[in-house]
Structure 1
Amino acid sequence: MTRAVVIGASGGIGAAIADALAEEGQAPIRLARSLPGEAHIDIEDEASIAAAAARVATGGVLDLVVVATGLLHQGDRTPEKSIGELDPAWIARQFAINAIGPAIVAKHFLPIMPRQGRCVFAVLSARIGSISDNKLGGWYGYRAAKAALNQFVRTLAIEERRRNDRAIVVGLHPGTVDTALSRPFQGRVREGTLFTPDRAAVQLLDVLDGLKAPDSGKLFDYQGLEIAP
């Protein structure tokens, strides 16, 4: 049985991933900022991340970590449409949640994963972080933060391969999912491409099941197709 951790397990996709793992007969460890006690983790607080990893490490071998956190809008802050809307504090906030937080999670959770055999560390990223795929512009902070996250994934994968050559570190693009994160922008979504959290979770877990060691360091969409950097 896989021993799994889902970070961001109170969010739409994170909760659905944890539920899907539970339906498969597993008992995922659910961690989130909004959860109390030992289930609490704050990805903007390294001490909180380190403490959560230490607690998890006492329970045995850890085969799967999914980081399902993310920030696109908050209050009156929304994705920038033009350079005139750039605000240093908002960009820093985007990077803190979308790039730095997951990287620090990796810093503390990858070392407690196996040194031998297949294991997976996955983060929710986005196609919008692909530089080569950027045809529309805008959304500066979110694009840049997700691009940074994809670079973190690539770099972490290279280092992790030296520790365990069967470990897989990947980014996942879930598509547009009907959650609070995407809700203000769903009017732009093509028919048939807005997924429920439950469907998105199953799709992403299917992708993870099919990955092999050479896939480490890459970004895959919900169909299992690689997205170019």
Structure 2
Amino acid sequence: MSKALVIGHSGGIGSALAAELDARGYEVTGLSRSTEGLDVTDEASVASAIGALTGPFDVILCATGALEIDGAVPEKTIRALTPKAMLDQFALNAVGPAMVMKHAGPLLPRDRRAVMAVLSARVGSIGDNRIGGWYAYRTAKAAVNQVVHTAAIELARTHKQAICVALHPGTVATKFTEKYAGRHKTVPPQEAAANLLDVLAGLTADQSGGFFDYSGAEVPW
């Protein structure tokens, strides 16, 4: 049986991804802050939690993140930006996934196709940014996109069939987005999870390092 690891499996989309993977026949392992005490901003916590696992995992998904941290909301103007908000966002949404990739990467098999994916967001795209705002969150997501792209280059040297990508899930109807969905069409977590896994199933190794949305379309950097 193929094995999957979901980091952040207790969250809205993380739990949906775990359930969908299970429905597709994977043996699923989950780690999160609320259930296993995993703190992705603390490398020792990441190393300990992931180091206790037995691989290999055919699919590794990092579904951690937050839009609001310690009461700081997405900025409408640069005048509202604070160093703490930027550093908090960077720690959770960029450094966290980077540490997950650092420690989980060795659990990918080298002899067959494998996938490692990080949930990013379209607002992290520099090329697609036409309305501004959301400085701290945008910057952190742009940073994690760079981490994914760079890690994919390194991973390809040892894992020829591996696929390492960033994913934009769309606006998913969770507590994470409920205050900010506005006029955006939302989808239930279960539908978003199915969409993302369909995208991953269709990717090939030569697409590793890319940034894809829930429909499989490539998102500009």
Counterpart of 1:48 (choices 45, 50, 75) is 45
- Report what 2:34 is aligned to: 34
- Report what 1:141 is aligned to: 136
CA distance in 2, matches of 1:185, 1:62: 34
CA distance in 1, matches of 2:145, 2:74: 19
Report how far residue 111 of structure 1 moved.
1.5
CA distance in 2, matches of 1:111, 1:153: 15
TM-score, length basis structure 1? 0.94
Letter of the structure 1 residue corresponding to residue 23 of structure 2: E
Q: Deviation per CA, 1:110-150: give whole Å up to 9, x if none.
A: 02211222111000001111101010010001111100011
CA distance in 1, matches of 2:157, 2:70: 43
Letter of the structure 2 residue corresponding to residue 182 of structure 1: T
CA distance in 2, matches of 1:89, 1:60: 37
Residue 201, structure 1, aligned to residue 193, structure 2: yes
- Report what 1:96 is aligned to: 91
TM-score, length basis structure 2? 0.97
Letter of the structure 2 residue corresponding to residue 118 of structure 1: R
Cα 1:215–1:53 shift into 2, 3 Å: same
What stretches of structure 2 of length at least 5 have no aligned partner?
none
Letter of the structure 1 residue corresponding to residue 52 of structure 2: R
- Report what 2:10 is aligned to: 10
- Report what 1:167 is aligned to: 162
Letter of the structure 1 residue corresponding to residue 213 of structure 2: D
Q: Per the alignment, in what secondary structure is the counterpart of residue 35 of structure 2?
A: coil
The alignment yields a C-alpha RMSD, in angstroms, of 1.1
CA distance in 1, matches of 2:135, 2:7: 25
Residue 183, structure 1, aligned to residue 149, structure 2: no
CA distance in 1, matches of 2:46, 2:34: 14
What stretches of structure 1 of length at least 5 have no aligned partner?
none
Report how far residue 75 of structure 1 moved.
4.9
Aligned length: 221
CA distance in 2, matches of 1:30, 1:44: 17
Letter of the structure 2 residue corresponding to residue 87 of structure 1: T
Structure 1 segments (4+ residues) deviating >3 Å? none
Counterpart of 2:115 (choices 120, 127, 130) is 120
- Report what 2:216 is aligned to: 224
CA distance in 2, matches of 1:146, 1:169: 16
Report how far residue 25 of structure 1 moved.
2.6
